[in-house]
Amino acid sequence: MELICPAGTPASLEAAVEAGADAVYCGFRDETNARNFPGLNFSRDELRKGIAFAHRHGVKVLVAINTFARAGAFGLWQAAIDDAAAAGADALILADLATLDYAARRHPGQRLHVSVQAGAANPDAIRFYVENFGVRRIVLPRVLSVMEIASIVRESACETEVFVFGGLCVMEEGRCSLSSYATGQSPNMNGVCSPASHVAYAERDGRVVSTLGGFTINSFGKDEPAGYPTLCKGRFTTPKGSGYIFEEPVSLDAALMLPALRDAGVTAFKIEGRQRGRAYIAGVVRSFRNILAAIDEGRSAPPAGLAAMTEGQMSTVGAYRKGWR
């Protein structure tokens, strides 16, 4: 069981390595990766140094180039693939058919993973990626139950990786334009969801109101835990009432599901959060490292105690438990 950890900066990469990651994933500082947030990500030089540091500690580096290439600008994505491969990336995490096709042809020896953004949610889709591009691993979308994951693993000729902690997409990843509907910027095209540049907080009648692109996403009482105004975790009104009609501002915490996911045959567990600081990275990675060690030794897993790290201070096991749907 591999523990795959996020790094938005070189400092976070080092924190993840020191906290016990088996692999760290990161991306370039541009629109080629799906966490294209202000102040984050790696220059070419930082990636080379980060890979050298990780390799010295026996840790792998996976480079996410997982947005969909802009028409007429494919060169930017090709350069990202070439540079990541040349820097010694242990795997490239790709989503777009164009990037997968290019990487498979140009860098036949390079290990390729299918990003969660590709939304490969069943064995047929996975077979398509394996047969066409020789991919070695699929990061499964967060729409599947543990039983479904087990059945996918049984039928698939490549490894699987699942998210176990952090931000939770409630929509199928890679096929959501909610963000661009409100702001003009989307995960697929710009590598951002509900971008900070379009976020505003204002005080109104003693409550804090968060807006995105001018749309009110939520309103918090004085001591209520807050959430970032991610569209799908906002409070809205329908004829059936007001509330969190898509999802509460929660984070995924599947720590308790790790044994079941391991038994399902999952190869790697992924922590979300390249946009988070190194305090989060170090804390969450160490915590999951301890849980995995306990599971390996047949001990009962220590509680993660990560509630404070989660959005709205709440966690869910998401689609891993079927009732979530």
Partner 1 sequence: MQLTLGPVLYHWSPERWRDFHYRIADEAPVSTVVVGEAVCSKRAPFKQDHIPAVVERLEAAGKRVLHASLILVSLPRERRQTGELMQADEAEVEINDLTCLATLAGKSFAVGPFVNVYNEATAGFLAERGAMRICLPPELPLSAVATISAALPQVATEVFAFGKVPLAISARCYHARAHNLTKDNCRFVCEQDPDGMPVKTLEGAGFLSVNGVQTLSHSCASLLRDIPALRRAGVASLRLSPQNCDMVAVARLFRDVVDGLLDPEEGERRLGGIYPDVPFANGFLHAAPGHVRTGEGGGSLGELR
Partner 2 sequence: MSDPQMTELPVTPPALPPWLARAMAPLPLAPLQPALALMLDRIGRTHPDLYGRLGEHAEKCFGIDPTDLPFAFVLEPKPLRPRARAVRNLPAGLDACIRGPLAGLVGMAEGTLDGDALFFSRVLWVEGDVAAVLALRNAIDDARIDFGTVIFGSLGPLGQRLADALRRQLQSLPVTSSGGRTWS
Q: Are 314 and 249 in contact (CB under 8 A)?
A: yes
Q: Are 187 and 193 in contact (CB under 8 A)?
A: yes
Indicate which of partner 1, partner 2, none lies near residue 315 (CB less than 5 to 8 Å, by partner kind): partner 2
User: How many residues line the site for partner 1 (CB under 8 A)?
Assistant: 68
Spatial neighbors of 69 by CB under 8 A, at least 6 apart, are 76, 77, 96, 98, 99
Residue 205 Cβ vs partner 1, minimum distance, rounded to whole Å: 12
Query: Is residue 236 a contact point for partner 2 (CB under 8 A)?
Result: no
**Interaction mask 166-195, partner 1, x per CB under 8 A:** ----xxx-xxxxx-xxxxx-x-xx------
Q: How far apart are the first and last CA of the chain?
A: 27
Which run of H or of E encompasses 207? strand 207-212
How would you classify the pairing of strands 159-166 and 251-253? Answer: antiparallel
User: How many residues line the site for partner 2 (CB under 8 A)?
Assistant: 57
Q: Which of 146, 150, 145, 217 is nearest to 181 (CA)?
A: 217
Indicate which of partner 1, partner 2, none lies near residue 92 (CB less than 5 to 8 Å, by partner kind): none
Determine whether 143 is exposed, middle or buried from the number of CB atoms within 10 Å of its CB (0-12, 13-18, 19+). middle
Query: Is residue 242 a contact point for partner 1 (CB under 8 A)?
Result: yes
Q: Are 179 and 155 in contact (CB under 8 A)?
A: no
Query: Is residue 307 a contact point for partner 2 (CB under 8 A)?
Result: yes
Residue 259 Cβ vs partner 1, minimum distance, rounded to whole Å: 23
Rounded-to-integer distance, Cα 74 and Cα 63, Å: 18
Q: How many CB atoms lie within 10 A of CB 54?
A: 23
Stretch that binds partner 2, among 79-87, 117-125, 134-142, 311-319 (CB under 8 A): 311-319
Query: Is residue 220 a contact point for partner 1 (CB under 8 A)?
Result: no
Stretch that binds partner 2, among 60-68, 122-130, 262-270, 280-288 (CB under 8 A): 280-288
| Single residue of 79, 85, 104, 125 touching partner 1 by CB under 8 A | 125
Stretch that binds partner 2, among 60-68, 156-164, 177-185, 226-234 (CB under 8 A): 226-234
Structure tokens at 282: 């170090």
Stretch that binds partner 1, among 217-225, 256-264, 273-281, 284-292 (CB under 8 A): 217-225
Q: Are 168 and 252 in contact (CB under 8 A)?
A: yes
**C-beta closer to partner 2: residue 85 or 189:** 189
Structure tokens at 250: 């929660």
Query: Is residue 224 a contact point for partner 2 (CB under 8 A)?
Result: yes
| Single residue of 107, 127, 262, 321 touching partner 1 by CB under 8 A | 127
Residue 116 Cβ vs partner 2, minimum distance, rounded to whole Å: 20
Name the DSSP class of 87.
Answer: T
Q: Are 248 and 312 in contact (CB under 8 A)?
A: yes
Span 57-76, contacts to partner 1 by CB under 8 A: 68-74
Query: Is residue 309 a contact point for partner 2 (CB under 8 A)?
Result: yes
Which run of H or of E encompasses 241? strand 241-243
Structure tokens at 281: 């990275």
Indicate which of partner 1, partner 2, none lies near residue 35 (CB less than 5 to 8 Å, by partner kind): none
- CA-to-CA separations, 137 to 250, 255, 305, in angstroms, rounded: 27, 22, 30
Q: Are 67 and 117 in contact (CB under 8 A)?
A: yes
Q: Are 171 and 186 in contact (CB under 8 A)?
A: no
Residues that bind partner 2 (CB under 8 A): 8-12, 15, 18-19, 37-40, 43, 195-197, 199-201, 208, 220, 223-228, 247-250, 253, 275-283, 286, 305, 307-317, 321, 323-324
Residues that bind partner 1 (CB under 8 A): 68-74, 95-98, 101-102, 118-125, 127-128, 131, 143-144, 148, 151, 170-172, 174-178, 180-184, 186, 188-189, 213-219, 232, 235-242, 245-247, 319, 322-325
